[in-house]
Chain A
Amino acid sequence: MIVTSGLEKAYKDVKALKGLSFQANDGEITGLLGPNGAGKTTCLRSIYGLIHPDVGSAQVDNIDASKAPIAVRKRIGIFPDKFGLQERLSAREHIAYFAGLHGLHGEERKVAVQRVIDDLDMNDIADRRTGGFSQGQRMKVALGQAIVHQPQNLILDEPSRGLDVMSTRILRELLFRLKAQGRCILFSSHVMQEVAALCDRVVIMVAGQVVAEGSPAELCARTGQESFEEAFVQLIGTEEGIML
């Protein structure tokens, strides 16, 4: 479970977060939706404990991220916005590296890595160096890194960017499977269809604040719009930053 309450963060003269509060529950996929520059990345960085909010707190399973960042990071898996792979290491070595950083060792680590490789159906590329990987293959490696330690909470930052149909399907199936296991999944996006298709709940944020929260259907009903996209436009009050 991920909870942020009253997050505020200012960079020099720009206020990125202005009292952001929302909750992502276990067993649900929560979408963090907002136009570019809404503060999504800043919000996620506060949850990782990489930046300290000026006011408010981000909590993962009731642990404060700025007070105990390491304990929080043990409970989350991160699929980052940009992920660089080291082209001289194989997919298996990448995943094993992050398993090691999460404290898995020896046989335990080997088993965990193999399980992820099976889950993501990547046995064919597991022992190849990542240098010439396609975007979809790179995504699998990044996903493997994120879930190898079986985190209770999974955070995905713009996960479907640049993915082809097959990769998107794999991602979607994985998210549904994790949800069924009762895990908490939070993902940020600005792609409508993705959010509408995947999320149980959507948190719409604009300019560092939450403007609406609810299931896609609820949001449509609240705004009186038929499509989720129209609902979103009405909620954020501008067409800026929407990618179709």
Chain B
Amino acid sequence: MKSVFMTVWLKEMTDALRDKRSLMAAMSYALFGPIMMAVAFMMVIKDAVSERDVYVHIDGAQYAPALVDFLGDRRIFAGDEENTAREIYLEIPENYEENIASAKPIYITVRSDYSERSDGSHRSRLESALREYNNTIASHRLTLRGISADVISPIRIDKQDTATKEARAAMILGTVMVFVLMAIFFSGMNVAIDGSAGERERNSLEFLLAQPVATHWLVMAKAAAAGTFALFGGVLSILLIPLVFVFVPLEKLGIDFGMSWLDQAGMILVLIPLAAFASILQLFVSFRAKSFKEAQTYISLVMFIPVAVIFAVEFTRFEHPALAMLPVTSQHQVLLATIGGQDINWLMVLGGAGVTLAVTAVLVAVVTKMLRSEKVVFGL
């Protein structure tokens, strides 16, 4: 009976590989996720890390040349024709020098539209530079009066980050893993629909079922063909992630990102049962549909569930021991643990894979039963 499985699988694969639509779908989901995330990260990093020059309006610069120099060291400059100043106004009063000399408070104004978010980081840079200058002058004055500057800063905070670089990477790259799982669910979709609702639409389903082939082999071969595409999508995105993220300067965020060949192989192994599960789920749904279009509608509704689950778990950081055992969530956890550089509990991984395969087997039985039912096949 194994040869029948191969016959059906090979035929479905040949057909799907010649179908540009299936191929494009499989490729695009796999490419889309990692590339989109990489671009998003690049934007974030560029914004967060780069110390760009800030140009503001400085009124009364002539009264406080030392302060202006200090700001210049912090890359804050007065705007000119070449570099237009932002709508941030720094006003230095006329009596600046006089008040400095007599140790009286000086009122410096920072005027800006504080509801304008795009200027926010520039404003805070200006303000923190001013605060820093304030502290510098204060400590100079104390030192001149024979008092240690330490008395005005009794508490010093020493930040010690215990997050491993991998853990920090996991937090960010968890989002990328969501796309790997989605690639699994979307890459095989067209193949699954074509092998089920498509057969019905072509009027070839009845004829196929009238062949001397045990129905469960037929179901398994069709699921395997769709699953091959699903896995292909998943593998493609896993292989692509390190390649794409080479171009993202993650180290600037203090993130050390690396995926060894071994990590990748492990992830791919974990995705195999998920690909089988996704495909049989799609067959289950689309064998009930009368046409390709109808199947697409049903499937997109059903595919919303795993995607919603992944996003919910990913963004709420919900934790429960059962998650390590359920299809979709168990694979998600393994992927996260792998890129987080955490030790992987292989017993749990096997458990998750076992449960996923068991659910898959149950669905194979259900679909087989469906195809033996006169009601489902002939729509009676």
Contact = CB atoms under 8 A, between A and B. Distances in A.
B207 A86 contact: no
Interface residues of A, number: 29
B3 interface: yes
A89 B204 contact: no
A100 B203 contact: no
Between A73, A80, A86, A103, the greatest number of chain B beta carbons within 10 A of the residue's beta carbon is seen for A86
Interface string A69-80: 011011000101
Interface residues of B, number: 26
A78 B212 CA distance: 11
- The B interface is mostly helix, strand or loop, or mixed, namely helix
A67 interface: no
B206 A70 contact: no
B214 interface: yes
A234 to B, nearest CB: 33
A86 B380 contact: no
A78 to B, nearest CB: 5
- The A interface is mostly helix, strand or loop, or mixed, namely loop
Nearest to A9: B374
A227 B7 CA distance: 49
Contacts of A80: 203, 206-207, 210
Contacts of B211: 73, 98, 101-102
Contacts of A82: 203, 206
Interface string A34-72: 000000000001001111100000000000000000110
B378 A84 contact: no
Contacts of A86: 15, 202, 204
Given A86-B204, A97-B11, A51 B199 contact: no
Given A73-B212, A103-B3, A105-B3, A89 B14 contact: yes
A85 interface: yes
Contacts of A105: 3
A78 B207 contact: yes
Between B8, B203, B210, the greatest number of chain A beta carbons within 10 A of the residue's beta carbon is seen for B210
Given A49-B210, A101-B211, 12 more contacts: A51-B374, A70-B213, A73-B210, A73-B211, A78-B210, A80-B206, A84-B202, A84-B204, A89-B18, A97-B11, A101-B212, A101-B213
10 contacts: A50-B378, A70-B213, A80-B206, A83-B204, A84-B203, A85-B204, A97-B11, A100-B7, A101-B211, A103-B4
